[in-house]
Amino acid sequence: MPRGEREARMAWSRISEPEDARALKLVREHGAEEALAAVLDGSAEGAARYLPRVETLDIEQDLRVVSRLRARVLVPGDDEWPDGVDDLEVPPHCLWVRGPEDLRGACERSAAVVGARSATPYGESTAGEIAAGLCERRFTVVSGAAFGIDGAAHRGALAVDGLTVAVLAGGVERPYPDAHRGLLERIVATGAVVSEVPPGCAPTRWRFLKRNRLIAAMTRGTVVVEAGLRSGSRSTAREATKLARVVAAVPGPVTSMVSAGCHELIRRGEAELVTDADEVAELLGYLGADLAPVKRGEVRPEDDLGEVEKVVWAALPVRSATGVASLAVHTALAEREVLGCLGRLQLKGLAAHDGEGWRRPPRRPA
Amino acid sequence: MPRGEREARMAWSRISEPEDARALKLVREHGAEEALAAVLDGSAEGAARYLPRVETLDIEQDLRVVSRLRARVLVPGDDEWPDGVDDLEVPPHCLWVRGPEDLRGACERSAAVVGARSATPYGESTAGEIAAGLCERRFTVVSGAAFGIDGAAHRGALAVDGLTVAVLAGGVERPYPDAHRGLLERIVATGAVVSEVPPGCAPTRWRFLKRNRLIAAMTRGTVVVEAGLRSGSRSTAREATKLARVVAAVPGPVTSMVSAGCHELIRRGEAELVTDADEVAELLGYLGADLAPVKRGEVRPEDDLGEVEKVVWAALPVRSATGVASLAVHTALAEREVLGCLGRLQLKGLAAHDGEGWRRPPRRPA
């Protein structure tokens, strides 16, 4: 039988499903070990729920698996416990973790990059770019290792030797989807693969839903890259909002069904529109340090002109020069006004005078 | 010489450029006719500015052109004067109009659909769809007849026999761009072509800028479909904001430079994100009457289940049935709880029982 708080929590993660409020209540009231004993002797409230699985408990086997996988089991209070998780209404009993990275450290400056499994090439390349850009800005990219956006986000992070964390709906020893076996091995080798369900557990629909809340809680914010109107990523976004995390969404063509969820999030004010890693970093980062450069078009010398100077400048021909009288008619200004403007424009290098009259100076090479 | 207020205003639109605050001040203080006389005798403040053009005035010729074009000249106070224009700081002296449509009536329920000249096929088709959809909802589509988004918006409106108004930067007799000659003829035949500058005037850079403010003022709101970071459409959007009109922008791929301006407008909170005509109509329309249908994914029967029922439903196999004991282990619920849920699910048609055990009922064809 499990001994001590850690082993008892491992057992609780086996006999209850994620986000079981009753199990949490028992553990909180009695401690994991005593609560487990109370289930075994039938004295715990609602113990019947857990008895069918208690029979399958084999803590020795679990410890062997953990050791064989070179995994570890984190419980609340551990140095490595990612504290964001405690913001959840029903936090996990423990976290099963593989990989060299300190999980708490990795999550301190982190972003979830998530989205549709049935992503478009546009979505996947955008997810990869954003993930890579975030890693270059020293963010950890957290995702769910699914097909589509999730996979592209992990790959984008790995491509720049960035730190990435995969949170799975099934056991950490079980690559899911199977086609991501190689991807998950690379994440295990460099970052962390995490689950709140024990090894051997299949990724069921329910666990996928509950996994999403973990991703939201572990990160400073969530970026949804592509999502249909009914998408798991939108549930991640909702969780993130509930937890007062930042939520951002990437726009796409209005004709794309997998951008429709992103556009709805933005329209409802549930997500900020972001177009690149700079903008995500600004939203997620520490105030000031991560401000995105403001997007401007090319700055032009004529931007700072007064209204009347602008009129004259706009009327100045690019090629053949023209006279002041003609400019006056063209601009509906007095010749005196035109001349004054031309003088000021000339000082700024925006008007040139030759024998024939006035024109714009030739563009200098950039 | 011009006689009466209307002819005097026609003259003012010849001797001054759009948005000339000094000309407006003179006209407002003295009336158009007296102000013109004061320019002629040199007693008006700043009269020098207008003298070069006064010499070119030929009101008889203007009246002949108006008659030949079967055009008309509107001045403030006319029944057909679009009153939104008076919200401008420097409204036009008059409007030169061609086409059968009552301009004021057309503008009462109207949207500007504008955007980049160098639009993408995506932008043009979206502009066309939105314009057509707005017309089907009895909105008038106002635009600038330029290449790209503007042209696509007019064409989208015409394709559904909708009402569309083109506001030009040059004279109303002058098709610009020349390739839109046919398009403008169709608008003249069914809607309205409008300018604040007189026939014969070329569409200069300055007049393009000032034309944008007219489009913003004449409509209830402006939709920017594609726009670069430095785009005339963004100036239209800025004018619309200044005039407390609605501003909306259509998102697109983050990789598209002509969506970058739209994304910036949305990010800065200067525009609402819209993806179709329904959403534009809701923003522009009269409260209540034009609410867009809320975008949802497919509604599924399992949406309304309680938390515990959802767990059981999620665990129910689609094909081969399974027993209550197995479901209890799978869900980490007591067998009694599982049975209770199964009963409720069965009532809702979400669980079926056969000899072997429990499963989901076969999907009914939609």
Q: Using one digit for the tens of pLDDT, what is the confidence trace for B31-65? A: 999 999 999 888 888 888 898 888 889 999 999 99
Question: End-to-end distance of chain A based on CA atoms, in angstroms?
Answer: 75
* For testing contact with chain A, the best of B24, B229, B275 (most A CBs within 10 A): B275
- Is pLDDT above 80 for A287? no
- State pLDDT tens for residues A66-79: 999 999 999 999 99
Point out the domain boundary residue: A257, A284, A311: A284
- State pLDDT tens for residues A158-208: 999 999 999 999 999 999 999 999 999 999 999 999 999 999 999 998 899
Q: Do A15 and B51 touch (CB under 8 A)?
A: no
| Residues B348-363, mean pLDDT to the nearest whole number | 83
Q: Do B229 and A296 touch (CB under 8 A)?
A: yes
Q: Do A329 and B52 touch (CB under 8 A)?
A: yes
CA trace torsion A189, A194, A200, A206 (10° rounding): -140
Query: What share of chain B in percent tops pLDDT 70?
Result: 98
d(CA B232, CA B63): 32
Query: How large is the ipTM?
Result: 0.82
Residues of A in contact with B296 (CB under 8 A): 229-230
Instruction: Name the residue facing B206 among A259, A276, A311 (closest C-beta).
Output: A311
Report residue A361 as tokens. 């100076």
Asked if B193 contacts B144 with a C-beta cutoff of 8 angstroms, the reply is no
Q: Which residue of A has its CA nearest to B280?
A: A267
Asked if B151 contacts B159 with a C-beta cutoff of 8 angstroms, the reply is no
Residues of A in contact with B20 (CB under 8 A): 332
| Residues A78-105, mean pLDDT to the nearest whole number | 96
Q: What are phi and psi of B363, to 5 degrees?
A: -65, 135
Q: How many angstroms from the chain centroid is the CA of residue B296?
A: 24
- State pLDDT tens for residues A269-280: 999 999 999 999
Residue B15 is inside which H or E element, if any? helix B4-15
Does residue B186 lie in a domain region? yes
Instruction: Name the residue facing B333 among A49, A125, A205 (closest C-beta).
Output: A49
Beta bridge pairs of residue B113: B223
Does residue A64 lie in a domain region? no
Q: Do A332 and B122 touch (CB under 8 A)?
A: no
Query: What share of chain A in percent tops pLDDT 70?
Result: 98
Residues of B in contact with A119 (CB under 8 A): none
- State pLDDT tens for residues B154-204: 999 999 999 999 999 999 999 999 999 999 999 999 999 999 999 999 999
Asked if A302 contacts A310 with a C-beta cutoff of 8 angstroms, the reply is yes
Beta bridge pairs of residue B73: B96
CATH of the domain at B312: 1.10.10.10
Point out the domain boundary residue: B61, B80, B97: B61
Q: Do A229 and B295 touch (CB under 8 A)?
A: yes
Does residue B105 lie in a domain region? yes
Q: Do A210 and A343 have their domain in common?
A: no
Q: Do A48 and A133 have their domain in common?
A: no
* Rounded alpha-carbon distances, angstroms, from residue A147 to A98, A177, A204, A224: 21, 7, 16, 14
**Smallest Cα–Cα separation from B129: which of B5, B327, B278, B338?**
B278
Residues of B in contact with A276 (CB under 8 A): 254
Residues of B in contact with A51 (CB under 8 A): 334
Q: What is the DSSP string of A190-248?
A: HSEEEESSPTT----HHHHHHHHHHHHHHSSEEEE-S--SS-HHHHHHHHHHHTT-EEE
- Is pLDDT above 70 for A365? no
Report residue A261 as tokens. 């969820």
Residues of A in contact with B124 (CB under 8 A): none
Q: Do B332 and A205 touch (CB under 8 A)?
A: no
Does residue B290 lie in a domain region? no
Q: Do A51 and A85 have their domain in common?
A: no
Average pLDDT score over chain A:
92
d(CA A272, CA A265): 8
Supply the pLDDT for residue B22: 92
Q: Which residue of B has its CA nearest to A328?
A: B52
The neighbour count for residue B242, using CB atoms within 10 Å, is 14
d(CA B96, CA B69): 11
- Is pLDDT above 50 for A366? no
Shortest distance between the Cα of B249 and any Cα of chain A, in A, equals: 11
Does residue A167 lie in a domain region? yes
d(CA A127, CA A42): 50
- Is pLDDT above 60 for A288? no
Q: Do B142 and B199 have their domain in common?
A: yes
Query: What share of chain B in percent tops pLDDT 90?
Result: 69
The neighbour count for residue A79, using CB atoms within 10 Å, is 9
Residue A112 is inside which H or E element, if any? strand A110-114
Q: What are phi and psi of A272, to 5 degrees?
A: -85, 145
Q: Do A122 and B255 touch (CB under 8 A)?
A: yes
Q: Do B211 and B83 have their domain in common?
A: yes
CA trace torsion B37, B43, B45, B51 (10° rounding): 60
Q: Do B57 and B76 have their domain in common?
A: no
DSSP A34: H
d(CA A360, CA A317): 6
Domain that holds residue A197: 69-284
Radius of gyration of chain B (CA): 30
Instruction: Name the residue facing B49 among A20, A297, A333 (closest C-beta).
Output: A333
- Is pLDDT above 90 for B117? yes
Edge-to-edge strand list for the sheet holding B192-195: B72-74, B95-98, B192-195, B164-167, B140-143, B110-114, B221-224, B246-249, B272-273
DSSP B243: T
Instruction: Name the residue facing A332 among B17, B122, B273 (closest C-beta).
Output: B17
DSSP A322: B
Point out the domain boundary residue: B256, B284, B312: B284
Shortest distance between the Cα of B100 and any Cα of chain A, in A, equals: 32
Supply the pLDDT for residue B348: 84
Q: Do A261 and A319 have their domain in common?
A: no
Report the range out of A221-235, A282-296, B86-100 with the highest average pLDDT.
B86-100
Supply the pLDDT for residue B161: 96
Asked if A226 contacts A252 with a C-beta cutoff of 8 angstroms, the reply is yes
Supply the pLDDT for residue B366: 44
- State pLDDT tens for residues B303-343: 778 888 888 888 888 878 888 888 888 888 888 888 888 88
Shortest distance between the Cα of A229 and any Cα of chain B, in A, equals: 5
Report residue A162 as tokens. 């960035």
Shortest distance between the Cα of B93 and any Cα of chain A, in A, equals: 15
- State pLDDT tens for residues B263-309: 999 999 999 999 999 999 999 876 556 777 777 777 777 777 888 88
A127 pLDDT band (50/70/90 cuts)?
very high
Report residue A57 as tokens. 């408990």
- Is pLDDT above 80 for A362? no
**Smallest Cα–Cα separation from A346: which of A320, A318, A317, A309?**
A309
Q: Do B50 and B121 have their domain in common?
A: no
**Smallest Cα–Cα separation from A198: which of A49, A47, A58?**
A58
Does residue A291 lie in a domain region? no
Shortest distance between the Cα of A105 and any Cα of chain B, in A, equals: 31
Q: Do B5 and B28 have their domain in common?
A: yes
Largest Cα–Cα distance of chain B, in whole Å? 107
Asked if A100 contacts A190 with a C-beta cutoff of 8 angstroms, the reply is yes
d(CA A333, CA A314): 13
Does residue B150 lie in a domain region? yes
Residue B254 is inside which H or E element, if any? none
Shortest distance between the Cα of A243 and any Cα of chain B, in A, equals: 20
Q: How many domains does chain B have?
A: 3
- Is pLDDT above 90 for A218? yes
| Residues A233-246, mean pLDDT to the nearest whole number | 92
| Residues B208-232, mean pLDDT to the nearest whole number | 94
Q: What is the DSSP string of A133-189?
A: HHHHTTPEEEE---TTHHHHHHHHHHHTT--EEEE-SS-TTS-SSGGGHHHHHHHHH
Q: Do A168 and A271 have their domain in common?
A: yes
Q: Which residue of B has its CA nearest to A22?
A: B333
Q: β-pairing, B352-354 with B357-359?
A: antiparallel
- Is pLDDT above 80 for A286? no
Contacts of B37 (CB under 8 A, 6+ apart): none
- State pLDDT tens for residues A313-349: 888 888 788 888 888 888 888 888 888 888 888 888 8
Q: Do A78 and A150 have their domain in common?
A: yes
The one-letter amino acid code at A19 reads E
d(CA B68, CA B99): 13
Radius of gyration of chain A (CA): 30
Helices (H), B137-231: 149-159, 181-190, 205-218
Asked if B152 contacts B125 with a C-beta cutoff of 8 angstroms, the reply is yes
Q: Do A229 and B297 touch (CB under 8 A)?
A: yes
Q: β-pairing, B164-167 with B192-195?
A: parallel
Instruction: Name the residue facing A297 among B122, B230, B250 (closest C-beta).
Output: B230
Does a cis peptide bond (omega within 30 degrees of 0) precede residue A92?
Answer: no
CA trace torsion A143, A146, A148, A154 (10° rounding): 40
Rounded to 10°, the helix B4-15/B21-30 angle is: 160
Q: Do A314 and B264 touch (CB under 8 A)?
A: no
- State pLDDT tens for residues A139-164: 999 999 999 999 999 999 999 999 99
Shortest distance between the Cα of B320 and any Cα of chain A, in A, equals: 17
The neighbour count for residue B91, using CB atoms within 10 Å, is 20
Q: Do A197 and A75 have their domain in common?
A: yes
* For testing contact with chain B, the best of A13, A206, A233 (most B CBs within 10 A): A206
Does residue A327 lie in a domain region? yes
Q: Which residue of A has its CA nearest to B14?
A: A332
Asked if B143 contacts B236 with a C-beta cutoff of 8 angstroms, the reply is no
CATH of the domain at B189: 3.40.50.450
**Per residue, what are the HEC states of A63-116?**
HHHHHHCCCEEECCCCCCCCHHHHHCCCCCCCEEEECCCCHHHHHHCEEEEECC
